[in-house]
Amino acid sequence: MKKFFASLLSISALATSIFTAPVATAQSLPAPTIAAKSWLLLDATSNQVIASQDPTLRIEPASLTKIMTAYLVFTAVKEKKLDLNQSVNVSTRAWKVDASSSKMFIEPNKPVTINELLYGLIVQSGNDAAVALAEAVAGSEDAFVVQMNREADRIGLKSSHFANPHGLPSPENYSTAQDLSTLAARLIADHPEFYKTYYSTKSYTYNKITQPNRNRLLWLDPTVDGMKTGHTEAAGYCLISSSIRPNGTGQRRLISVVTGTASDQVRAQESLKLLNWGFLNFDTVKLYEKGQAIATPEIWKGTQAQIKIGFNRDLYVTLPKGAAAKLKPALERKDPLVAPIALNGKVGTVKMMLDGKPVAEFPVLALEQVEQASIFGRAWDSLRLLFK
């Protein structure tokens, strides 16, 4: 069943990630007909799922698995556990990976750099590169798989499990369109420079063999700057693609996930159809600036009389075109606010209302820490509260 979601992703005051579960659904807008087993369109600017079909259907991710592999390698480089110019030896296990599958064509007696392996993984979709990188990060493929699943848990991939770093068929290697959109968005947000360097590359030559990037959209649409293709007989033809286009005075990024299509051509055309539909029919509106005080309510039993409340990040919402002017905020506070209150502690909720219906909901946070007053100050406010 096709669904349109006007669902904003809420941010917990204690969360380390900005990508969490959807909070509210509302509005209806005809979704496009997409020739795929399951699909999803995510606005990465607002972290909002715009539309989807069977987003939680379990699928075989095929080479989309390599996004998690790349994420862990990028993290290892960022943490200086690996260096891009570092050379590694190619194991027999990496060299002998399924000869009928996609390969970079690394060789056991020829050291290769992490940088070369990343191009081989992302541009050439080399399964041998995936194994070599896994061994470089974790010492063995099995140890790397443990890291993959630990990371999947950390970033909230609730319906995914990884069995290998390349995505070759295994009953223990599965995911969903929803989880894959989260993973893709996390990689772009957490490793923007690496994403820019590798995912838009149209071809790569290694060992005197030039292979094109299988993502056709890199040639068809100049606003598409990644991301990854996948294919096995069971998975069909899959594609995660991302496009960034102007949005008012800024930019807006959409990520589409299309799985189980009939051919390479179909996955490209359906992905482009989905991206164009999202950009043409929706606007992404900035609601509040990070650190902007939306109110300064009274606080009780504290070292100050008032507290600034707002959000710890810029807030955006994605709406059908023309609807933004009718959007109205409704603030609900946890009154009375009693000290102590921690910085970024949740003090209420703001609901964005459209035609009297909530279309998005955000936790409102304390923008400053307020300590308890002296025993006398607390006693005085306790008396005041009795008559409030």
Contact present, 124 and 102 (Cβ < 8 Å): yes
Cα-based angle 271, 121, 104 (whole degrees, multiple of 5): 115
Active-site residue flag, 203: no
Q: Is 66 a catalytic residue?
A: yes
Catalytic residue, candidates 7, 52, 63, 241: 63
Q: Is 234 helix (H, G, I), strand (E, B) or coil?
A: coil
- Is beta strand 2-7 parallel, antiparallel or unpaired with respect to 48-53? antiparallel
Torsion of CA 355, 356, 358, 363, to 10 degrees: 120
* 125 labelled catalytic: yes
C-alpha 206: how far from chain center = 30
Task: Select which of 10, 102, 125, 241 is catalytic.
Answer: 125
Tokens of 138: 């974790």
Q: Please report, as a single letter, which amino acid is at residue 265.
A: Q
Contact 316, 347 (CB under 8 A): no
Residue 184 CB neighbour total at 10 angstroms = 26
Q: Cα 375–379–384 angle (5° rounding)?
A: 150
Length of the chain (residues): 388
- SS3 sequence, 328-340? EEEEEECCCEECC
Query: Hey, is 183 helix, strand or coil?
Result: helix
Choice among 10, 46, 52, 66 that is catalytic = 66
- On the CB side of 89, CA atoms within 13 Å amount to 6
- Would you please indicate which residues are annotated as catalytic (active-site) residues? 63, 66, 125
